[in-house]
Chains A and B, each alone.
Chain A
Amino acid sequence: MNESARRTALVLVTLLVPAALVASWASSAGRRLRAGASSAAASSVAVASVSDDAFCTPQLKAVVRRVAGACGLLQGGGAGRGCQPMEAKKVASLTGGDFNAMFRPLAKRAHIIQFDADKTDLDADALALVDKAWADQRGASFFFVVSRASTDGSEERNEVLSRDRAKAVVAHLTERFHDPDLEKQVGLLWLGDQFAQLGDEFCGWSRSRTAECTGKDINRSAFIAWIDCAI
């Protein structure tokens, strides 16, 4: 084989083989791109969203919706909180027992802030527990403060007491966190001593006081919890 033939043979092999490979790879990528574009299915990646836990029964959602609506949360909070003292039974449309039962699945999420008799001040342990609870929002949309009073004293006095206990919690949150979302997320429900009194079993829940508690102690309280329900 002469020099020219060798040269031609080598050029053919060393140039055409890579060129054919490149053409093949590129064509193949082009075909896959077109196939991928034509069969572009909806992305299977989840979209960021708020929590909607299994305990969010239709009844609980209804209560959340009513409280949120009554407190102006569903309107985006633009006009400030419109949470007026309300007829709790009307909001819940439930018996007291059923109302409390609805919150039982929140055992690991809820905390009970305890107050002295006829007082609305938060002690140091109560402040710490409120901070802890608020910081544990995760995907929840609403923070409920459901306050009560024991049956000691008059009905009117106890309604005022329970209202002021709820407001004490909100006042602390406002001062501590300066959170612009607070107006849109905190729902208040004060029950006085007339509706859904807590039973002794709630003494076993996360409380701000470690001392023994009685049925009266546990109702001098504000029940606070993030509600992981999308409504």
Chain B
Amino acid sequence: MTPEPESDDDDQDWKPPAKPARPFLIAVAAASFVGAAFAAESTSDFIQHLDRQVHSIHCSFIPGAGQELGDSGCRTVMMSPYSSFFRESLWGGLPVSLWALAVFAFLTYRAGLLAWRGSASRAEATFLFAATGLPLGMSVIYGYLAVAQIGATCKVCVGIYGASAVAFGAAFLAQRRVPQPVGQAPDRSKFPLWFAEGVAFVAALTVVFLLFKPPSSSGKGNDGCGTLVRADDPSAIMLELSDHGRVPAIEVLDPLCPSCRAFDTRLGASALSDELALKGVLFPLDSSCNWMVTEALHPGACAVSEAILCASGLGPTRDMAFARKVLHWAFLHQDELRSQAKEDEKALRQRLEREFPDIKGCLGGYPVKNKLTKSLRWAVSNAVPVLTPQLFVHDRRMCDEDTDLGLEYTLRRMLSRKGPDSKEASR
């Protein structure tokens, strides 16, 4: 027997549906619960990084499985500026997964309520269907951003996309099985109330997060972690990475370092990067040219750095667009270039010359090797840590823990500081 509905909209002319909607309502609740589990996992991973330390993160299609410490699509996506809102005012920002968790929790509640009752009115089913459109729409947007803007996909995110699609499909089928009462216009009077319930879920989790989250200012981030002793460039070793901004900044980078590539992507995606007049100093972590490392952490980085310097030009006429082109190509092909160099560095050098014929005759030559040594010695002159990437804004070094989730928050504050000539900086 189909139970009498105790619906919120009190449809007087409600009639038992020809086909029961309950299985689909259960499916919506189950998919929403799975979505909530994925969103909770993502939120947990995000929040644990607010302590400014390195942690493993989940990266699996199975909720709770696949904890990884190294680079992964999940880490890249989480560290990207798209993973949270209000990054410039909160360290790390407000994670989008927190809102996903709230929405899925709300959908679980709504679908669970209807499934528990065993039936739904047309209005309830329609609202549920519309509500499941929100996570589906966000999934489409974020899926596009992941592929088109970040260039990485995250298994946990794909889990959320899948749960959203299943919830939407099941809600659609449930709604189709609840007939509209004959002769009555759709009753949407309770939509605002139900919508307010959903908003309340989002607001409640947001307030809890803001109340308990670690403070944005940890004490040192705004002042940076060290300053440059000699920011000048007498040997003309710096590359112009961007020249549209006004604030002088220097990035110490290794073209074959995955963290540098990820940082480049994050910085490029940030609107604040437009304010930087960014220069690059090559610091390959490869013992074939860098005496400061005992092994080749990134094999082939010396050869690729030489190629970039060759492209930039060793004489007074410099071609920074060409240098940037080689750098971006190296970022794109990092994994294969490192593997190739590990096997045979000579083959890597030949590949570089094939890819960029204009550097032939320069690559491997003494002048470019000398230039690369100058680049490394710039790091010595400034006694910078032997690691990449590093960002200096107004000669102040951004703390390493601020270069990922806290990038926008810290960069905004470093940009607003005065330069080294100002009274503020000289205090």
A interface residues, Cβ below 8 angstroms from B: 2-3, 6-7, 10-11, 13-15, 17-19, 21-23, 25-30, 32-34, 36-37, 43, 45-51, 131-132, 134-139, 176-177, 179-181, 228
Contact = CB atoms under 8 A, between A and B. Distances in A.
19 contacts: A3-B117, A6-B113, A10-B108, A22-B205, A23-B208, A25-B44, A26-B211, A30-B212, A32-B51, A33-B51, A34-B214, A45-B387, A46-B386, A50-B380, A51-B291, A137-B377, A138-B289, A138-B373, A180-B234
Nearest to B201: A15
A36 B52 contact: yes
A25 B47 contact: yes
Of the listed residues B214, B379, B383, B387, the one surrounded by the most CB atoms of chain A closer than 10 A to its CB is B214
Main secondary structure of the interface of B (DSSP, over half): helix
B219 A37 contact: yes
A7 B194 CA distance: 12
A43 B399 CA distance: 11
B6 A3 contact: yes
A18 B366 contact: no
Of the listed residues B44, B98, B373, B382, the one surrounded by the most CB atoms of chain A closer than 10 A to its CB is B373
Contacts of A177: 367, 370
B235 interface: yes
Contacts of A26: 47, 50, 208-209, 211-214
A107 to B, nearest CB: 18
B48 A47 contact: no
Contacts of B373: 135, 137-138
Interface stretch (B99-107, B255-263, B340-348): B99-107
B214 A30 contact: yes
A19 B370 contact: no
A137 B369 CA distance: 9
A191 to B, nearest CB: 27
Closest 6 CB pairs of A and B: A135-B366, A139-B291, A26-B212, A32-B51, A30-B214, A48-B379
Contacts of B6: 2-3
Contacts of A138: 289, 291, 373
A89 B218 CA distance: 60
Given A33-B50, A138-B289, A181-B374, A49 B385 contact: no
B317 interface: no
A15 B105 contact: yes
A46 B219 contact: no
Contacts of A136: 369
Contact of A48 (B36, B106, B292): B292
B215 A30 contact: yes
Contacts of B204: 15, 19
A33 B382 contact: no
Given A14-B201, A22-B208, A23-B212, 13 more contacts: A3-B6, A6-B116, A10-B109, A14-B105, A14-B112, A25-B44, A29-B48, A30-B50, A30-B213, A30-B215, A43-B385, A48-B384, A51-B291
A19 B208 CA distance: 6
Given A48-B292, A135-B367, A181-B235, A29 B383 contact: no
B113 A18 contact: no
A49 to B, nearest CB: 6
B53 to A, nearest CB: 6
B80 interface: no
Contacts of A30: 50-51, 212-215
Interface in B340-381: 366-367, 369-370, 373-374, 376-377, 379-380
Interface in B251-300: 289, 291-292
Contacts of A132: 366
B109 A14 contact: yes
A47 B40 contact: no
A48 B211 contact: no
A22 B212 contact: yes
A134 to B, nearest CB: 7
B52 A33 contact: yes
B214 A135 contact: no
Contacts of B98: 22
B43 interface: yes
Given A3-B117, A21-B40, A46 B208 contact: no
B379 A135 contact: no
A37 B218 contact: yes
A228 B373 CA distance: 14
B50 A29 contact: yes
A18 B40 contact: yes
Contacts of A29: 47-51, 213-214
A138 B209 CA distance: 51
Contacts of B376: 48, 139
Nearest to B372: A135
A99 B369 CA distance: 31
Given A2-B6, A18-B40, A138-B289, A27 B212 contact: yes
